[in-house]
Each structure stands twice: as C-alpha cells, then as structure tokens.
Amino acid sequence: MKKLAFCFLLLSATGPCIADAQHNELEEVRVSANPLSDVDGHIIQPVHVMSKEELKRRSVQNIGETVSNELGVSSSDFGAGVGRPVIRGLSGARVKVLQDGIGSMDASTTSADHAVTGEPVFARQIEILRGPATLLYGSGTSGGLVNIVNDRILDYVPEGLEGDVLAQYETVSDGFLGAANFNVGIGNFALHFDGMLRDRDDYDIPGFSETEPDAGEEAGTQENSAMESEVVTGGLSWVGERGFIGFSVNNLDAEYGIPGAHHHEEEGEEEEEEGGVSIDMQQTRYDFKARLDQPVNGLRWLRTRWGYNDYKHAEVEPSGEVGTRFDVEELEGRVEAAHDMIAGWNGVVGLQYNDREFSAVGEEAFVPPAAQDSIALFLVETRDLGDWHLDMGFRYENTDSDSSTGASVSHDTFSASAGLDWHYAEGYKAGVSFSHSQRAPTIEELFSNGPHLATNAFEIGNTALDEEDSNNIELHWRKTEGRYTFTANVFYNQINDFIFLQEQDLNNDGFADRVEEDFSGDPTEILDPDEDEEPLLLFHAQQDAEFYGFELEGMVNLFSDQRGSMDLRLWTDYVEAERDGGVNLPRITPWRLGAGLNYARGPFNLSMEYTHTGDQNDTAPLETGTDGFDMLNIYASYTFKVSGSEFTLFGRGTNLLNEEVRRHTSFVKDLAPLPGASGIIGIRSSF
C-alpha cells in the first residue's frame, strides 16, 4: 500500500512534464443527476460516470456488482441475485439507488436479501455521486447515490431505428442472458422498447459454502443460488422544439434463491426439506417525464419527473408454501426549475414528494404494515469567482410515518452543503467541501418487531429515534486533463445519533441474548448462550459514530500510436468506522488495492483488472473477521460491421485465480462466497 502511494505521488509530481508531451483533454460527460451539468462543466463533489463502453466490460448481474470496483464503492451481496452498493462504509437507506432520477421503489432497504430492481444491462451510463447535488434526491444520502441512466423516455427523436441486442453464456452457472433495446422515431414521436431474459443455475464455488462446513457437506456448488428474471419495457414520448413529454411502463418478474437462508419449521417437523428459501418478485412501474425550455422570462427550463410503483414479492419455503408476502406501493415525483444567471449565480430550485405504503404479511413479517410520506424543498446554486468555483445546496424535508399498530411519528430535517474549487493551473484543481445532512428513520427502524431470518435476528424498532445528523468534510486534489489524470480524496464524516442494531442482554448474564422466533419480550424466554443458531435479539439504538478514510486513483496513457492505445489505472481506498468508545461498526469495507490495463487497436479491445482486498479484523461485537482475497478479471472483444450494423464478439473471465471470495460487507459472507472462476462468451449488435 505504501508503494502504491509513493508511485501515485511520483506520478503527480512529474505530471506537468508528461502533460506537456501530450495534451489530451477528457471528453466532456454530462452528469444527469446534477441538474446544472448543462449550465456549467464544474463538478466539485466526487463523481464518477461509467460510460456505456465501460459498462460493456463489467458484470451486469446486479447493480452492486457492476459498481463494486469503483473508487470507494463495494457491494453488499447476498448471493448472485442480490447486490446493493456500499459507499465509504455506508449502505442501506444511506445510499440511494435511482433509475433515471427516481428511486428504485422496491423493498431492498428493508432487508439485505431483497434485490434492487434497477437493471444495469442497457444503462446508457451509471453515475456515482456525492456532494451538494445529492440534496436534490433525499436528506438521507449521507453515503451518496447511484443513478442508473436509461433511455426509456427519450428526449430526442431518433433518425431511423437504433438499438442493441445482446446474448451471452456464463460457464460458472450454466447461465444465459439475452437482452434487446430499440429506439425509433416517427415524426415528433419517439418510441422505446427493451426486454431482458436471465436464467442461471446454482453457481460453482472453489470450496465449501460455509466457512465451517458440516460433516458430509459437498464442496463445489453454492446451493440455492439460481435465479430467473424477465424485464419488458415500453416508452413513448413527444419531442418539440422547446421540450418533450413522455411516459414508460416497465414490468419485472424475478425468482432467485437466498443462499444460507433459514426457513420456518412447523411444529413437529423433524428435518429440513431439500432446497432453500427463494423470493418470487414482481414489479410494475409507471414513469412520466417532461421538460419545457424557457417557460417564462427568468427560467432556463422547467422539468418534472414522476414514478409510480406496484411491487410485490413472496418468500417461498422449500415446501412451496409462501411464508411471507411483501407489498410496496410508492409514488415519487419532483418538479425542478433552473433560473437564468442572477448576479453570477446559476441555480435550481424544486419540490420533491414521496408516498410509500409498505406491508409484510406472514410468519416472518418483522415489520408491521406502515406508511411514510415526505415533502421536500431544495435549492442548489453555483458560480465562478475567477479561478475559484463555489457550489451551495439546501434542503428542507418533512417526513410522517404511521404504523398499523397505531404508532405515528413526524420528523423535520434540514440539510446543507457547500464546496469550493481552486483551479490553480491548467487541468489541475484542489478544493474542499462541507455537508450537513439529516436523515429521518426508516419504517423498518421505527416499527420492526419480529424475526428477521435473512440476518438471523429478532429486530425491535424504536419510535423514539431522533434524526441522524451527518457532518462531513472532504479535501480533494485532481488532475483532469492531459496524458495522465489523478484523483485524491480524504474525508471525515461525523454522524451524530447514528442508528444501528444493538445487541441486548435482558437477563444480565453477560452474553448477547438469543431468542425463539415467537419471542414475546419476556426476559424469562431468553435462551442459553450456546444456542448460537437461534435469532440474535437486536434493538434499534442510536450513538455517535465517525467514518474517515481516503481514496487515490491515477490513470495514464502508456502509449497511443501505430501500436494502438494502452491505458493504466492504479487505485486504492480505505475506510474506518467506529461508534463512540472505539467500538467498530459491522460490515465495513476492508482496504483495497487495484490495477487495470486497457488496450485498444482498431476493432480489438483487451482489458485486465486486478484487485487485492485486505483482511478485515476490525470487527464489531459478535462479528467474525474476513480473510482478504485477490480478484483477477479479463475482457476481450472484436468488433466488425455487417450491412451497416456493428457486431462485437466478446469474452470475459472473472475470478480467474479461482479464489474463495467472501466480501466482509455481506450478511452471508460465512455462508455463501462469490462464484469461482468463470468464463463468459457473447455477442452484441449495435445499430
């Protein structure tokens, strides 16, 4: 790690000489999650945009896996079907996942085994964002946000037919993925269609599923990790000279196994049935988007974005019976207006509304039916002051939460942020950003009361929870132009009244309590400590916490001539997180070190990624440590044209060292490793 930091600093010191030898300005990328990106090109906050070309080289099995090798980002996987982004050690509701600017509106924040419904397969780009612009999307995004940008509602009229068709086969799971994406223009109308089919069997692993396998357990396969999913979407928009208006309808059907999941055993059941718990998920989503340029004097544009979601999933026992049914109906909308420059300031003001109704019915429903609605007012302003650039953002939000048990709470939250950049030389800048963010407790944190078998816990909510207060300071230094570029970030995040699940000791025996699934709250029902397979009793509590760390990334063009072009990427990140008293927080990303090479010559492309993830022994109480691992991935493609259409043959190899990979961020790391060595072959057509 010290060697990498030394190389990074050496590269930075010699930068001006290299840049003089070859000056290549980076292609301008518009960040759609930043509404001012079409006004000025400045972005102070740490942001990375994964382009469509970059996404072609990545895994697209879930959004967490797709972004897991980006700076400061990992994944909280729960088998192949589930992966939610983790940013700088923060996850769940503190990291918002958007689909084209609107939340995913699923049940993924309720439990770690619930999948995010956003599909990265045909994303135009994926944006990873923190800083002032995140205030436009929620007060609780203290970790950041991931925005999956798609073209389901087009704001332009295509000239003829355009799109992509993809088919690939994966060896590790005998898996098939097929997808198609079409856009066509007819007069002022633009039509969109996309569809996807994914079918995977249980995937291969290099050893045993459990870190401490039972006697007679077979190695080589992760049981109950198969998945099937289908996605169909249609969109229609009308595009005029001053704007557009459109809508889309998306339907998702998915079924996937939950590796290592427990299931409810009926009284008298002598042994577990074969198989495991699976989730049968359906989502129908309706989206609407419109924009009007120059609606009145003083406004550059006015736009609105709405989404309505009907989400259901059933947790199916090995017997085929449904144990628990989850239902989420959610409406989210926003109206934004960008004003003309006022005294040197450009800005966006807007309103956001969200209404969420949640219910879980069944033997393992640990959260009672509840509703939560919020309304927010936000403002983001930006301006240049010579070589300096300033961003400021404010947000006020009111959130009301009601439970079917009669409990009702209300929270008012205020968030603000500011960032300052100094462009001290051509292509170089340094800066600082501050943010204060308040987060209202979620439905699960307020009202849960029952067994949560995905995490093998009995969770009890707390209606007395206060808002979380996150205060973050970040320093950055960047080079954005020339033959080589770099990014260096150092951050410190103090979170007052951090909400977490705390172990209980109701019988005062000095051990964390374990209980039966029907625990009534009576301390006499506490089990003996050696009953370590029974649910752990956890209570939603609050205590101050701090997160701090750094991120370093350097990219250099090694050559670009008749031999082709080759780029090198070196990166590392580190985060530490503790509660007051020096108690470590659970599932914090270990330090990582990565390197990548990308070579292109004509129609041929070859890339390689190597990542070393360190051991994680700074564990929370009752949490096991995790061994480090090395991950080697390669990608190769060859592109050719036939009758005006572009075809790409590609192959991808993942985990080629066939390491036993267990991410410390996963609830099931001791029960379900990631897939072993795998090969993917496929063909993509673009036209």
Give the three-class secondary structure for 81: coil
Per-residue burial over 439-464, b if 16 or more Cβ lie within 10 Å, else e, is bbbbbbbbbbbbbbbbbbbbbbbbee
In this prediction, residue 207 carries a pLDDT of: 92
In this prediction, residue 81 carries a pLDDT of: 81
Is the pLDDT reported for residue 18 higher than 50? no
Percent of the chain clearing pLDDT 90 (strictly above):
70
DSSP H or E segment with residue 65: helix 63-67
**Lowest model confidence (mean pLDDT) among 34-43, 214-223, 247-256, 507-516:** 34-43
CA distance 488 to 550: 7
State the DSSP code for 419.
Answer: E
**Lowest model confidence (mean pLDDT) among 91-105, 165-179, 523-537, 538-552:** 523-537
Beta strand 457-460 with 85-87 is: unpaired
Residues comprising the chain, all counted: 687
Alpha carbon separation from 171 to 178, 400, 461, 648, 679 (Å, rounded): 15, 48, 43, 19, 5
Is the pLDDT reported for residue 23 higher than 70? no
Once rounded to an integer, what is the mean pLDDT over residues 90-108? 92
CA dihedral 450, 453, 457, 461 (to 10 degrees): -40
Contacts of 325 (CB under 8 A, 6+ apart): 312, 313, 314, 315, 360, 361, 362
Beta bridge partners of residue 391, listed in sequence order: 382, 419
In this prediction, residue 615 carries a pLDDT of: 97
Tokens standing for 588?
């914090």
Q: For 385-416, what is each residue's pLDDT tens digit?
A: 999 999 998 999 999 999 999 999 999 999 99
Q: Let me know: does 183 contact 167? Beta carbons within 8 Å.
A: no
Once rounded to an integer, what is the mean pLDDT over residues 545-559? 97
Is the pLDDT reported for residue 27 higher than 90? no
Contacts of 249 (CB under 8 A, 6+ apart): 233, 234, 235, 284, 285, 286, 287
Per-residue burial over 422-437, b if 16 or more Cβ lie within 10 Å, else e, is ebeeebbbebebebeb
What do you get for the CA distance between the two ends of the chain, in Å? 44
Once rounded to an integer, what is the mean pLDDT over residues 501-529? 88
Once rounded to an integer, what is the mean pLDDT over residues 239-267? 83
Q: Let me know: does 406 contact 489? Beta carbons within 8 Å.
A: no
CATH architecture of the domain 2-686 equals Beta Barrel (2.40)
What are the DSSP calls for 86-97, one per residue?
EETTB-GGGEEE
Is the pLDDT reported for residue 580 higher than 60? yes
Once rounded to an integer, what is the mean pLDDT over residues 618-635? 94
Give the chain's mean pLDDT. Answer: 89
In this prediction, residue 48 carries a pLDDT of: 85
Once rounded to an integer, what is the mean pLDDT over residues 449-471? 90
Is the pLDDT reported for residue 9 higher than 90? no
Once rounded to an integer, what is the mean pLDDT over residues 545-569? 96
Once rounded to an integer, what is the mean pLDDT over residues 226-249? 97
Give the three-class secondary structure for 19: helix
The residue type found at 212 is E
In this prediction, residue 318 carries a pLDDT of: 87
Is the pLDDT reported for residue 630 higher than 50? yes
CA distance 196 to 254: 11
Is the pLDDT reported for residue 220 higher than 60? yes
pLDDT band with cut points at 50, 70 and 90 for residue 3: very low
In angstroms, how far apart are the furthest CA atoms of the chain? 78
DSSP H or E segment with residue 157: none
In this prediction, residue 649 carries a pLDDT of: 97
Once rounded to an integer, what is the mean pLDDT over residues 56-62? 86
Is the pLDDT reported for residue 652 higher than 60? yes
Q: Is pLDDT larger for residue 271 or for residue 277? A: 277
CB atoms within 10 A of CB 666: 27
What are the DSSP calls for 476-487, one per residue?
EEEE-BSSEEEE
Once rounded to an integer, what is the mean pLDDT over residues 188-214? 95
Q: For 62-73, what is each residue's pLDDT tens digit?
A: 999 999 999 999
Beta bridge partners of residue 474, listed in sequence order: 433, 491
Q: For 286-345, what is each residue's pLDDT tens digit?
A: 999 999 999 999 999 999 999 999 999 999 988 888 989 999 999 999 999 999 999 999
Q: Is pLDDT larger for residue 15 or for residue 77? A: 77
Q: Is pLDDT larger for residue 47 or for residue 683? A: 683
Burial class (CB in 10 A: 0-12, 13-18, 19+), 420: middle
Q: Tell me how many helices (H) and strands (E) the chain has.
A: 5, 32
State the DSSP code for 531.
Answer: -
Give the three-class secondary structure for 332: strand
